[in-house]
Amino acid sequence: MEMSVPQVLELVPKRAAVRSVLKEKGNLRPPIVWAVGGGKGGVGKSFVVSNLGIFLGKQGHRTLLVDADFGGSNLHTFLGMSAPTRGLHDFFAKRSRNIGELVVPTEISGVSLLGGAQYYLEAANPKFAQKERLQQILTRADTDYVLLDLGAGTAFYILDLFLFAQEKIVVVSPEPTSVENVYQFLKSAFFRWVKREISSPQIKQWVDRAIDQRADNGIKTPVDLIQRISEMDPQLTEEVENLRRSFRVKLVVNQVRTSKDSRLLDAIVQACDKHLGLTVEPLGCVPFDDTVWKSIRSRKPFVQHYSHSASARRLEILLKKLVLPEKGKHGVA
Ligand SMILES: Nc1ncnc2c1ncn2[C@@H]1O[C@H](COP(=O)(O)OP(=O)(O)OP(=O)(O)O)[C@@H](O)[C@H]1O
Ligand SMILES: [Mg+2]
């Protein structure tokens, strides 16, 4: 018999309890990092991040939501809050080195927010060193989960934060532009990873051209890249193949209105496998629901105040799929 979401979540140990044991042993477990990206703006990345955060918080998991959309921070709106006066803009402007003092509580117990950087224009494209430092700090954050809300586009810092996360989620809406952007986002993320992991100058050059979408050397997809490398070097082929096999992403189709829209979930999964050679796991669809904008306008976090709506129920199913594998994978059973 299918278990209800609350029943399923009861099976998941409270990481806070696990942590206190680890702390006593002086062996603090780093947080589990999830990132939500997808290339296109307005598809629902912040909507998904905020609601997943609320779900985790309600299950007793300390959760830090990070507004990593440095160009257009608005995660606070989904949590029913005004823009926090402190946030990553202070970190990027070197006004604060301690992220802890930039984090603000939300109305959901255990859930806190590290606000974005909308007052600090330079932060819209942070330097490599700033991004690296942010990652180091997040790895040491005293929380169970870190959820990264990424901005639109395929800027390198966005791709790097996406690759930094153990759980990578992409959100797409049922529009051709969004679907096109998600393919581009996934290709770019994979190419960026290859560039960082493989030292061959020739491969770096091919990958640079592929990311630029110049494709003047015929390499447009990971499949093309591996094919080209295989003509050159079997050892490198194996290394890049290993990267391809371990590149795993989960997909949400949001704002679904018709049954045709919901078929996109499997269609994208299959297209990624066939044309890009990338493994994408279908997490689920979330229906378009007018109560979403109502919740934003009334500043009432969606799954907190509209838990009986169709979309909230679908989101619960997504969380169930996300949280259950954590048990085995991160050894918190
Ligand atoms: N399932 C849904 N049903 C109805 N409206 C939705 C749904 N999901 C999101 N929206 C609406 O779409 C708008 C955009 O969502 P959101 O801000 O989460 O997108 P985003 O991908 O984070 O965009 P950006 O890249 O610009 O930050 C929201 O203002 C919200 O009102
Ligand atoms: Mg957003």
Q: Indicate whether 21 and 157 sit together in one domain.
A: yes
d(CA 123, CA 139): 20
CA-CA distances (angstroms) from residue 288 to 41, 44, 96, 312, 319?
16, 10, 40, 11, 18
Q: Is 42 left (phi over 0), alpha (psi -120 to 50) or beta?
A: left
Q: Indicate whether 75 and 161 sit together in one domain.
A: yes
Q: Indicate whether 202 and 331 sit together in one domain.
A: no
Instruction: Tell me what pLDDT residue 206 has.
Output: 87
Q: Indicate whether 124 and 217 sit together in one domain.
A: no
What is the chain's pLDDT, residue by residue, as a tens digit (333 residues)?
A: 444 433 433 434 444 443 443 344 444 689 999 999 998 899 999 999 999 999 999 889 999 999 998 878 899 999 999 999 888 888 888 888 788 889 999 999 999 999 987 655 555 577 788 888 899 999 989 999 999 999 999 999 899 999 999 999 999 999 999 999 999 999 999 999 999 999 999 888 888 888 776 656 788 899 999 999 999 899 999 999 999 999 999 999 999 999 999 999 999 999 999 999 999 999 999 999 999 989 999 989 888 888 888 888 888 888 778 877 655 554 433
Nearest atom (ligand 1) to Cα of 293: 31
Instruction: Tell me what pLDDT residue 215 has.
Output: 59
Q: Indicate whether 60 and 153 sit together in one domain.
A: yes
Q: Indicate whether 122 and 10 sit together in one domain.
A: yes
- Which of the listed residues 271, 286, 301 is the one where a domain comes to its end? 286
Overall number of domains in the chain:
2
Q: Indicate whether 166 and 21 sit together in one domain.
A: yes
Range of the domain at 224: 174-286
Which are the contacts of 180, defined by CB distance < 8 A and separation ≥ 6?
none
Identify which of 147, 175, 292 to mutate to test ligand 1's pocket (most ligand atoms within 8 A of the CB).
Answer: 292
d(CA 278, CA 186): 8
User: 47 CA distance to ligand 1 centroid (A)?
Assistant: 6
User: 48 CA distance to ligand 2 centroid (A)?
Assistant: 9
Nearest atom (ligand 1) to Cα of 296: 31
Q: Indicate whether 207 and 329 sit together in one domain.
A: no
Any residues with Cβ below 6 Å from ligand 1, and which? 41-47, 69, 72, 151-152, 254-255, 286, 288-289, 292-293, 296, 311
Q: Indicate whether 120 and 257 sit together in one domain.
A: no
Q: Indicate whether 253 and 214 sit together in one domain.
A: yes
Q: Indicate whether 150 and 10 sit together in one domain.
A: yes
Q: Indicate whether 130 and 86 sit together in one domain.
A: yes
User: 230 CA distance to ligand 1 centroid (A)?
Assistant: 42
User: 313 CA distance to ligand 2 centroid (A)?
Assistant: 21
CATH number, domain of 125, equals 3.40.50.300
